[in-house]
Structure 1
Amino acid sequence: MSTIAIVSTTNSNFVTPLIALYRSILLNNPTSKFTFYIFADHLIAEDQFRLKRLTVDHANCQQINFLSVDEALFQKAVTDERIVKSAYYRIYTADLLPELNRVLYLDCDLICTGNIEPLWQTDLNGKVIAAVEDAGYVPRLAEMQIKAQQPFYFNSGVMLIDLKRWREEKITAQVMNFINQHPEKLKYHDQDALNAILADKWYYLHPKYNMQSRLIRREQEHPLPPAEILAEEARQNPILIHYSGRSKPWLEFGVRPHPLRSEYWKYAPKTLRITTDQQIS
């Protein structure tokens, strides 16, 4: 069985949620082996120590590796009070991990509840990535004036990436060019840029692998019947719960409690509650 390579991005504010995510993966996949690669946004030594501790506490955690990117590359990246510049770092995954042919990118506001080996083994059928449709069902490709055979727009919080094909098609350069040339189109930041370049180049995953808050709360605006059938299946058996949006399980004030916040607290340190509303993605 191959080692599953997982990539994430975090700053000090999100170290605890990231630890909770990785613990949930390791505990719910005891027979799989994992190596984690973390784009570190100014992490202090204590942050890195806490993350490295996972290799001691869990036998199936092979390594914790920290990656860095030159911030100057993202001078034109669109950010706001919730989306920080380091959200864009993952665009360089293929460049920084030339020895790998496949990775699973995961946002740090996720929790794993089951076996992700089938996700890792997914045949991408020649596509560059596999992802789940964004639960907002937003017509972003049309709004960005991107021509595509399929109008679907994916959520970038979970992406199974064929790094070999990504390199062959020079996706990094294409995404960065879009970011630098069309900042006015980045309403949803790097997710918009990724969708613009990867339109028609992504494989449609079942929403159980990225169970977004809108699906959990049934807040979709105009779901088509087939999409709603899949959404209901995901509600019954989510594998990766995505606490997308402002309602995070560790936030105690000013937001509506998340319906599945208890899943987060099964894995998170109880004494390290986070109250920031800044997010990585």
Structure 2
Amino acid sequence: MPSIAIVSTSNPDFVTPLVTLYRSILINNLTNTFNFYVFTDHLTTENQLQLKRLELEYVNCAKINFLTVDEALFKGVVTDDRIIKSAYYRIYAANLLPKLDRILYLDCDLICTSSLEALWNTPLNGKIIAAVEDAGYVDRLAEMGVKAQHNFYFNSGVMLIDLKRWRENNMTEKVMTFIKRHPEKLQYHDQDALNAVLADKWYYLHPKYNMQSRLIRREQVHPLPPAELLAEEARQAPILIHYSGRSKPWLEFGVRPHPLRNEYWKYAPKMLRLTSNQHSNQQIS
């Protein structure tokens, strides 16, 4: 069976959550092999060793690969205290991984609870990516002045990407052009740009593949009853739990505890728990 290709971006503050995510994937996918590609944002040698130890822990199941990105490509992009420049690195995945035709992009603040095989093998039916609707149910396309047949807006924390079709449609150039031309529209940074350019070009995934914090807390009800039924299914049996927003399992102070924080600690190695309070509240995305 071919390896599943997972792509993430990490800075030193997010190495421990990323190790935890990857461990959760490996523990719950024992019949698969994985190639993990990490776009590095000033990772130290020790940071990289933390991740490479997974190769020893899961011999013949995991391969960790590090890739560097030219920061100059993102000069002047919109950032803030939580969304940093390296959040944009994933836009260049098709360029940096020319031999791959499909990847699964995952944010660092996720854990996996079950098999990813069905997600990995999802037919995209001609679409460029597959993603889950953002649980804020915001009408961002209209707010950005983007005309689309469907006004659904996806969360970019989990994206199954057809790199071949991405390249054929020059998506890297199109997304970066939108970012440079419309910085005033990027309230949600590169996620807004991805949605603007990929409007009507993405496949709607079941929310169990990206169960976001708003969904977990039932903060909003989906305006479409069938979609709310899918949301309830996701709450009952999530496959990827996304600790989106400011409340992270590894943060002890300053935010309300996440309702599923204990799920994270099932997969965090004990040696890493000692450093859990050192992580910042930045988000890669």
Query: What secondary structure does 1:53 align onto?
Result: helix
The answer to whether the Cα contact below 8 Å between 2:84 and 2:284 also exists between their aligned partners in 1 is yes
Q: Deviations over 1:116-170 (max 9, x none)?
A: 1000000000000000000000000000000100000000000000000000000
Aligned residues: 281
List structure 1 runs of 4+ shifted beyond 4 angstroms.
none
Q: 1:225 maps to which residue?
A: 225
| 2:47 counterpart residue number | 47
User: Within 5 Å, which residues of 2 pair with 1:12-161?
Assistant: 12-161=12-161
Amino acid corresponding to residue 277 of structure 1 in structure 2: N
Alignment-mate amino acid for residue 48 of structure 2 = Q
Structure 2 spans left out of the alignment, 5+ residues: none
Provide the rounded CA distance (Å) in 2 between the counterparts of 1:206 and 1:241.
13
Q: Which moved more, 1:50-59 or 1:11-20?
A: 50-59
- Quickly say closer, same or farther: Cα 1:9–1:58, change in 2 above 3 A: same
* Matched-pair contact (CA < 8 Å) for 1:31–1:60: no
2:213 & 2:26 partners in 1: Cα distance? 23
| Structure-2 residue corresponding to 1:270 | 273
Question: Distance in 1 between the 2:131 and 2:250 partners?
Answer: 26
| Distance change >3 Å, CA 119–CA 222, structure 1 → 2 | closer
Shift of 1:270: 2.1
SS of the residue 2:73 aligns to: helix
Could you say if the C-alpha distance between residues 159 and 114 of structure 1 is closer, same or farther in structure 2, counting changes exceeding 3 Å? same
Give 1:73 shift.
0.9
CA contact (8 A) 2:54 2:62 kept: no
Give the TM-score normalised by the residue count of structure 1: 0.98
Question: Cα distance, 1:180 vs. partner?
Answer: 0.5
Q: Please give the secondary structure, in 1, of the residue aligned with 2:7.
A: strand
Unaligned runs of 5+ in 1: none
SS in 1 for 2:8: strand
Alpha-carbon distance in 2 for matches of 1:243, 1:220: 16
Q: CA RMSD in A?
A: 0.9
